[in-house]
Structure 1
Amino acid sequence: MRQIILDTETTGLSWEKGNRVVEIGCVEFVERRPTGRTFHRYLNPRREFEAGAQEVTGLTLEFLADKPFFEDIVDEFLEFIDGAELVIHNAAFDVGFLDNELRLAGPQYGRLADRCAVEDSLRLARQRFPGQRNSLDALCKRLGVDNTHRQLHGALLDAQILAEVYIALTSGQEEIGFGEAQASNEAGPVVAFSGRSDRPRPLVQASEEELAAHEARLATLRKKAGAAVWDSPAEA
């Protein structure tokens, strides 16, 4: 069984109002184990962010100005997900945006449902924890998934966190073995980690693009807050 854990970031909450996808992050699983293959792209949305949306992601139009348009990467994206089951948190949101992007790219691309089955992890969470908060952050806390490194929303990072949440949600498995994945993928960076394990964790070097995105996000927060705790030396 091949599954793709998928997340997107967008310029706003509604594609019907002309909002677009600005980031896609995917993590590949086969037989419920990560293969190490990922797909990660930032996209030029050709429009402004809605109020509040930019603060959620930390992305800026300046950073996205030289990034590809969706139609430039659509074939590569579809090749990566084709035939897989997509696991998405609040799937209706991401599927609606991606179906709109496919429509704008051309009628030959059809819809996600033409290529993939979709599993909504939010639906699963509501079945297991009825009446409780089932956001990704709430599920991380409830299921013991470490998300302390998630200061802002990012598609690839959120897909990796969702992968851990999904395994815990559907089987209670504590060790999903990201650190054992060996395969690489040119479509995006591979981030390897070991879940909750005592084994030594690999050192992962950020790419220049990731560092630039990180600095852009910090700059946005500094502008809003005036000062940031991460700029001060940590207390012993």
Structure 2
Amino acid sequence: MRQIFLDTETTGLYADQGDRVIEIGCVELFNRKLTGNNLHFYLNPGRDSHEEALRIHGLTTEFLRDKPKFEAVADELLAYIQDAEVIIHNASFDIGFLNAELKLIGKPLFKEHVTSVVDTLVMAKEMFPGKRNNLDSLCDRLGVDNSGRTLHGALLDAELLADVYINMTRGQDALLMDVGEQQEQGGIPVERVDLSTIDLIVLSANQQELAAHAEAMQQIDKASGGKAFWKEAA
């Protein structure tokens, strides 16, 4: 399966108020292996970044002035993500901005170019309810080294997200063993094992173990004031 991890940086928080994309980073995974076939653009948004956004990504107007416009890289981006599963952290934010950019140049919306979109923020909230689930928190929780992330950067964040996703979904492949008969349960292959063919070994407790067990039961009965339920059932 071909998967693309995607992140953007923007001039601000609101695509519907004229904020623009200034950086796009994409990292490719194929069959859960990094391929090195990544894609990265800095873009000239034609406007300044808000101060709050600038403090996060550090991409100044001067730095971006000679970079291409989104329309100049759109075809390359769309060809790269074509028919892939795209994985984004807080997908509604990035897709909202990419849709705004695509609309400005008369291109179909983002989801029309890809097989599907997976939001790792939604995944994280289901896996770790009630906890902070931003990218830094997930890196700390899952043991992903993010020490180089002094500022947000689209390509670095996409690389970190790929690591986080692999850790979040680790063990999935082990569930799909091609041994014996399988059934479908909720669309997931479930292994059926015939235990009747297995000769189980039964180990009996020796006298020392039986005496230790009896002593432990007496102590529990004493601590409960003689109200141990197994005495009534005996």
Q: Same fold (TM over 0.5)?
A: yes
2:121 corresponds to: 122
Which residue does 1:154 correspond to in 2? 153
Q: Partner letter of residue 44 of structure 1?
A: N
Aligned residue for 2:131, secondary structure, equals: coil
State whether structure 2 residue 34 is matched by structure 1 residue 34: yes
- Residue correspondences, number: 171
- Note the residue ranges of structure 2 that are not aligned, 5 or more in a row: 173-234
Residue number in structure 2 paired with 1:182: none
The one-letter code matched in structure 1 to 2:155 is L
Match for 2:109 among 111, 123, 127?
A: 111
1:176-195 deviations in whole A, cap 9, x for unaligned?
Answer: xxxxxxxxxxxxxxxxxxxx
**CA distance in structure 1 between the partners assigned to 2:171 and 2:91 by the alignment:** 22
Matched with 1:3 is: 3
Post-superposition Cα deviations, 1:126-183, rounded to whole Å, max 9, x if no partner, equal 000001000000000000000001000000000000100010011169xxxxxxxxxx
Partner of 1:13: 13
1:182-233 Cα distance to aligned partner (Å, 9 max, x none): xxxxxxxxxxxxxxxxxxxxxxxxxxxxxxxxxxxxxxxxxxxxxxxxxxxx
Alignment TM-score, normalising by the size of structure 2: 0.72
Once residues 61 and 88 of structure 1 are traced to their aligned partners in structure 2, the CA distance between those partners, rounded to angstroms, is 26
SS in 2 for 1:52: helix
The higher radius of gyration belongs to: 2
Q: AA paired with 1:163?
A: A
Give the match for residue 140 of structure 1.
Answer: 139
Question: How far off is 1:113 after superposition?
Answer: 1.1
DSSP-derived class of the 1:37 partner: coil
Give how far 1:51 is off. Answer: 2.6
| 1:202 corresponding residue in structure 2 | none
CA RMSD of aligned residues (A): 1.0
Gaps (5+ residues) in structure 1? 174-236
Taking the aligned partners of 1:67 and 1:51, their CA distance within structure 2 comes to 20
Q: Using the alignment, how far apart are the partners of 1:104 and 1:50 within structure 2?
A: 21
* Whole-angstrom distance in 1 between the partners of 2:158 and 2:33: 14
- CA distance in structure 2 between the partners assigned to 1:127 and 1:161 by the alignment: 20
Spell out the pairing of 1:143-182 with structure 2 (5 A cutoff).
143-171=142-170
**Deviations along 1:15-46, whole A, 9 cap, x unmatched?**
01100000000001111111110000000000
| Structure 2 counterpart of 1:29, one-letter code | L
Distance 1:130 1:9 in 2: 27
Counterpart-to-counterpart distance in 2, 1:31 and 1:23? 27
Query: Once superposed, which parts of structure 1, at least 4 consecutive aligned residues long, lie more than 6 Å away?
Result: none
- Paired with 1:104 and 1:85, the residues of 2 have a C-alpha distance of 24
TM-score norm. by structure 1 comes to: 0.71
Mean CA deviation greater in 49-58 or 67-76: 49-58
- Structure 1: distance between partners of 2:110 and 2:165: 21
Distance 2:92 2:42 in 1: 21
1:15-94 aligned at under 5 Å gives the runs: 15-94=15-94
Other structure's SS at 1:49 match:
coil
Report which structure shows greater RCO (CA 8 Å, sep ≥6): 1
* Secondary structure at 1:6 match in 2: strand
Partners of 1:132 and 1:61 lie apart in 2 by 36
Q: Which amino acid aligns with 2:41?
A: R
